[in-house]
């Protein structure tokens, strides 16, 4: 604790004068209609710790997410380690990726794990029938993916094929991966393919989106099939059942009523689609109305989580079964000129704001939500990283995840927020959203989001000590990084000092501010 304090204070000495000058300049320029909010922070836990797996990621064989994004092959002139790009892996390692879901998604529902083992030159070429009917030579298969997970230091979450593969094949895949038997034919096959020691597979998805691309199943049939497949998945792995992704409570109800004893977790999928499915709109070039609609849609995940939790609580009052939001994020129309089946989209300040609001919501539901996986990691949907040949850039969503790292494993705190409203057309939302948590080192982290794209917000707190952190904001709602200007939108330093014993946090329009403080010295909110 003392060492942490010294490091924080050293940083303050170097930057306080500069940061305070910025704050004073900003305050002087504030319009008269700035918003006023009030935040009361307590030291009382609001729930169990924020599992690091809530910051999980999702990799699917889709577009250039794997080939050309993560993977360039060992023969590439782009620096790589056993085929995976060094620059991309290094960037992702800085995020401390806790868990990685693979190979889908809908791709998993037609995937035969045996296609991706053995000598690469002898692996079959299959058509990716879900995403563009393009050929996949299976160069990245089980061994390669497990190597990537080890390079990242991430736990493994495999999505098994319950849509088109028998349960025996799923069971054999798990044995191939995890058996340490000297007599197992499957374990010895793995050894011949280059891996002596078994791998650890912490999570195994028994199917994916069984209501849709995973088999178009009725909930009753999916529940019965889950029971069958899960019976044959023996070994130390957590079994995840395919749950709702269409806002249908009956799917959750049926899965919990019929199959709760055969699952360790139930999945929930929630995508933020800022408009009709056929006209979602591009990631850039949107107006204030689309900004507000997008944020309103993103906040809707809390209602879905609450409804799902209520059903799960009736069937599982001890909360043994976890809820995994294992696909979430913004889904825009593909970039003009790109292959529409590749789901390639730009990533802006709006995406980062949606990520912040979503993570804040997950923090509020830690009693049941134990994992979340943003879709997806590289070049697809709400990606952390974009690549173009040898070029690479970090997106605003990447920077948001980086700013939120202190929340991994921290304990959420009870907070009281009084916030004005943000109105745009017929849409009304809270103007400020907040999350707070205390880490094992005793440091309190606060994340505050100003949803209003035009007005500053001043948040008066009951904190009595200075804070430092970072702010992510820009003049334009669709500010983003490009390969020509890769640092257009990056976090900037942020600091604030108490005035008359109370700390006030000034939030620029459309901004995310994350600050940290060692203080447990709280003033009476009535002062």
Q: Which residues are catalytic?
A: 209, 327
CB-CB contact of 342 with 332 (8 Å): no
Structure tokens at 286: 């949107």
DSSP 165-226: S-HHHHHHHHHHHH---SS-HHHHHHHHTT--SPPP--EEEE-S-TTTTTT---HHHHHHHH
Buried b / exposed e across 187-202, counting CB within 10 Å, b at 16+? beebeeeebeebbebe
Structure tokens at 488: 């257009």
In whole angstroms, give the CA distance from residue 195 to residue 292. 51
Structure tokens at 273: 């689609």
| Closest residue by Cα to residue 159 from 117, 121, 111 | 111
CB-CB contact of 325 with 252 (8 Å): no
Q: How many CB atoms lie within 10 A of CB 22?
A: 14
Taking 3-state DSSP, the helix, strand and coil percentages for the chain, each rounded to the nearest 5, stand at: 30, 25, 40
Q: What are the backbone dihedrals phi and psi of residue 463, each rounded to the nearest 5 degrees, phi first?
A: -80, 145
CB-CB contact of 431 with 452 (8 Å): yes
In whole angstroms, give the CA distance from residue 427 to residue 457. 19
CB proximity list for 507: less than 8 A, separation 6 or greater: 432, 448, 449, 450, 456, 457, 458, 459, 513
In whole angstroms, give the CA distance from residue 237 to residue 254. 23
CB proximity list for 488: less than 8 A, separation 6 or greater: 474, 479, 480, 481, 482
CB-CB contact of 199 with 135 (8 Å): no
In whole angstroms, give the CA distance from residue 14 to residue 137. 53
């Amino acid at each position: 604790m003392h060492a942490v304090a010294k490091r924080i204070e050293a940083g303050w000495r170097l930057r306080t004068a500069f940061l305070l000058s910025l704050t004073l300049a900003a305050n002087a320029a504030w319009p008269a209609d700035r918003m006023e909010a009030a935040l009361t922070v307590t030291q009382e836990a609001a729930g169990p710790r924020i599992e690091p797996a809530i910051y999980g990621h999702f990799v699917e064989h889709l577009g250039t997410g794997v080939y050309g994004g993560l993977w360039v092959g060992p023969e590439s002139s782009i620096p790589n380690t056993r085929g995976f790009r060094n620059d991309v892996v290094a960037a992702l390692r800085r995020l401390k990726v806790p868990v990685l879901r693979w190979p889908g998604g809908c791709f998993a529902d037609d995937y035969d794990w045996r296609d991706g083992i053995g000598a690469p030159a002898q692996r079959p070429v299959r058509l990716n029938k879900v995403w563009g009917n393009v050929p996949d030579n299976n160069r990245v298969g089980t061994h390669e993916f497990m190597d990537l997970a080890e390079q990242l230091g991430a736990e493994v979450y495999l999505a098994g094929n319950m849509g088109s593969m028998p349960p025996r094949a799923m069971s054999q895949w798990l044995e191939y991966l995890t058996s340490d038997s000297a007599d197992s034919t499957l374990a010895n096959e793995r050894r011949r393919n280059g891996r002596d020691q078994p791998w650890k597979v912490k999570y195994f998805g028994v199917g994916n989106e069984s209501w849709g691309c995973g088999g178009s199943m009725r909930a009753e049939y999916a529940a019965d099939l889950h029971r069958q497949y899960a019976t044959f998945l023996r070994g130390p792995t957590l079994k995840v059942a395919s749950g709702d992704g269409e806002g249908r409570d009956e799917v959750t109800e049926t899965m919990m009523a019929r199959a709760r004893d055969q699952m360790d977790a139930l999945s929930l999928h929630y995508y933020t689609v800022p408009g009709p499915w056929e006209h979602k709109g591009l990631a850039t070039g949107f107006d204030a109305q689309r900004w507000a609609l997008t944020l309103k849609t993103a906040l809707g995940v809390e209602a879905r989580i609450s409804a799902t939790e209520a059903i799960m609580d009736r069937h599982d009052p001890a909360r043994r079964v976890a809820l995994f939001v294992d696909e979430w994020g913004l889904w825009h129309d593909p970039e003009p000129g790109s292959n529409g089946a590749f789901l390639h989209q730009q990533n802006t300040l709006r995406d980062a704001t949606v990520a912040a609001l979503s993570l804040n919501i997950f923090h509020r539901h830690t009693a049941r939500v134990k994992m979340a996986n943003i879709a997806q990691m590289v070049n697809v949907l709400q990606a952390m990283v974009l690549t173009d040949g040898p070029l690479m850039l970090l997106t605003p969503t990447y920077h948001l995840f980086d700013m939120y790292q202190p929340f991994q494993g921290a304990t959420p705190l009870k907070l009281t927020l009084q916030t004005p409203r943000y109105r745009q057309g017929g849409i009304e939302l809270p103007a400020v959203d907040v999350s707070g948590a205390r880490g094992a080192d005793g440091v309190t982290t606060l994340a505050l989001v100003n949803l209003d794209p035009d007005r500053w917000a001043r948040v008066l707190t009951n904190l009595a000590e200075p804070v430092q952190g970072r702010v992510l904001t820009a003049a334009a709602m669709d500010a983003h990084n490009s390969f020509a200007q890769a640092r257009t939108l990056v976090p900037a330093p942020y600091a604030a000092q108490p005035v008359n014993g109370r700390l006030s946090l000034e939030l620029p329009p459309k901004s995310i501010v994350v600050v940290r403080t060692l203080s447990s010295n709280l003033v009476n909110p009535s002062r």
